[in-house]
A and B are shown apart, each in its own frame.
Chain A
Amino acid sequence: MFRFSHCNQIFTLFQNSRVFPLLAVILVYPLKFAFPSQSEITTLYFYIPETNINNLAILKDQFESYLVKHGNYSFRPFSNQATFERFVKEDKKAVILVSSWYYGKLNERHEVNPVLVGVSGKSSKQKYYLCKKAELSGSSFSGGEKFASASGIDFTREVLQQIVPLKYHKNVALARILLVPKDIDALMAIEFGILNCALTTESGLNQFAHTSPKEYKSLIKLPSQKEWLLPLVAAFEPENISVMALIMLLEKISGDPDGIRSLNMINLDTFKRLNKIHHRILNK
């Protein structure tokens, strides 16, 4: 399969040939200008604040083991919003992999174009669940609740506002949130009697159903009305050739074993192009 990164190799091959030097110059030389040079690095910037990802170093290794096989690419994960935005602002050729929640906030300040959306199983959307110990009453929310969550303080409160009935909204600000590394940790905090409530994704609940089926069945699970898109790939200049090349590479990432592992680390199976429904969800 032809890849943009092969242009320079083809150019070199023709240069070395004594038979077609002129032809080489006429046919291939323009490609050198049309496609990016090997020395230019295109970077995929990663920032998902509402997931308590603390394995950024191995995420970088894993993504780069896929990307560098196909050209001069790098992967830069960030855990701090200000640093992420500072780097991205300076690189107009940046391709970003961010959560759809954060994308909405970034897009209010900088125009960023979403191109791909993550897929897990067959879905590119996810709901969040407020889980409670079976003994607690269903939808009431006193504000004295203590939550375990792997989704960051701001996002957890925002989702809780979506889930609890309107009359309890003012109590959401009072809830205390203990941040844990993973969804499964949040649910195990209920299982082992450390806390009474947790906020989790559907994939976290699936893991819990696998490890603790009895406790899973007895949990009160209140889903959010709103659905969020899974992480998005977006760009400031999606028409730029280097940017397009990296986006195409991400589109076919699930066809490569290293690519699949990279995606599994962020609980995705593949990426696909955004359609009208996705845009509608994003604009809600």
Chain B
Amino acid sequence: MSIHYNNSFIANIYRYILLNIAVALMMGSLSFAEESILILNSDTRVEKYTNAQQAFIRSIGKTTEIFDMSEPSIEDSHFTQMVTTKDPDLIYCIGEKATSNASRLIKNRTKIVSSVMNQDRMNFDKDTYGVDSKLPAGMQINLFRLCFPEIRKIGVLYSKKYNDKWLKSAIYAGRQKGVEIVGYYINKPVDVGWKLKKMIKVVDAIWLISDPIVMASEKRIMSIFTVSEQAKLPVFAYDLIFEKLGATLVISADVETIGGQVAEIALDLFANSTLENRFQPPTGSQISINLKKIETYGLMFDYHRALGMINKIIE
């Protein structure tokens, strides 16, 4: 028995096969299309920005494009055009300049920000996610306790305008850990001197926090270190720049871990996972101690328990 096919039937079959191939190719190209990521780096010459960037690239395992924003004269129109042309699925902003420009000029695009010192004081749209650059007060108190188990009362100079909420969280965290945090509020920079003198009489250590009123000038910052030196009181600080001024302990967020955390957020966003919080605190720490100060002030440093955690020692 033989079967006869007319020409139009064969043509229809042929068309059907071609259509299926085309659909399969389209589906394939869609499923393998990789999300595009644009990194806006405020200044690629700044080590902490570059370290965060490299850690992000290592962790994300996807192709990224980097745009260095250190050029002093990037016009807004040029910047927005560049972003529109690249049309990224996600933008990672590293540092103040990249973050403020992206927040101001780029709307309706998913952004993740990091390495911005006063991130909590900025306004972000609902498409912005991020990792804070400051370790939570409770984490820092944990690390203070591991290094200096005998220190029980720590003084903080702060302004109600910028750090009222933070101080409350620090006092609460301290209470949980058996450390008393004593806050001395500063209304205007000129108050720093006399409040400091009052504070050093009752505390075991001074905790320097980022506060624009307390740190209104280099002179005010220097005076904190001079007075603490005279009183033989250790200063605990949050940034390595205070190391040179004589901070006994500096605890800062580890920028490579921040880059890794940003990659985790990006992977969650690509997978459409629900994020509990749009912003999260950093979770890795870098610790620097000044051994000379520890010896001069006669402080009890727990070498056995804490030395393995230290990243930098000043002797």
Contacts and interface: CB of A to CB of B under 8 A. Distances in A.
Interface of A: 54-55, 57-58, 61-62, 146, 148, 176, 178-182, 184-186, 188-189, 191-195, 203, 207, 210-212, 214, 260-261, 264-267
The 3 closest A-B pairs by CB, nearest first: A211-B142, A264-B307, A189-B283
A180 B307 contact: no
A189 B283 CA distance: 6
Given A179-B260, A210-B145, A210-B146, A192 B312 contact: no
A211 B302 CA distance: 13
A55 B136 CA distance: 23
Nearest to B310: A55
Nearest to A190: B283
A185 B307 contact: no
B283 to A, nearest CB: 4
A53 B162 CA distance: 36
Interface residues of B, number: 34
Interface of B: 59, 136, 138-139, 142-143, 145-146, 176-177, 254, 256-257, 260-261, 264, 267, 276, 280-281, 283-286, 303-305, 307-313
A186 B142 CA distance: 13
Contact of A180 (B176, B280, B284, B313): B284
A146 B304 contact: no
A11 B303 CA distance: 41
B264 A212 contact: no
A52 to B, nearest CB: 9
Contacts of A176: 264, 267
For A189, A195, A266, A267, the residue with the greatest tally of chain B CB atoms inside 10 Å of its CB is: A189
A173 B254 CA distance: 26
A180 B254 contact: yes
Given A264-B307, A265-B310, A181 B254 contact: yes
Contacts of B276: 193
For B139, B145, B256, B308, the residue with the greatest tally of chain A CB atoms inside 10 Å of its CB is: B308
B285 A181 contact: yes
Given A188-B139, A207-B146, A146 B254 contact: no
A181 B312 CA distance: 13
B146 to A, nearest CB: 6
B101 to A, nearest CB: 28
B146 A185 contact: no
Given A57-B312, A58-B313, 4 more contacts: A178-B283, A191-B138, A192-B139, A211-B146
A17 B260 CA distance: 67
B305 A207 contact: yes
10 contacts: A58-B312, A61-B313, A176-B267, A178-B257, A178-B261, A185-B285, A194-B283, A210-B146, A211-B177, A264-B308
B265 to A, nearest CB: 11
Given A179-B257, A184-B146, A207-B146, A148 B283 contact: yes
A184 B254 CA distance: 13
Given A188-B139, A264-B307, A182 B283 contact: no
A267 B307 CA distance: 8
Contacts of A264: 303-304, 307-308
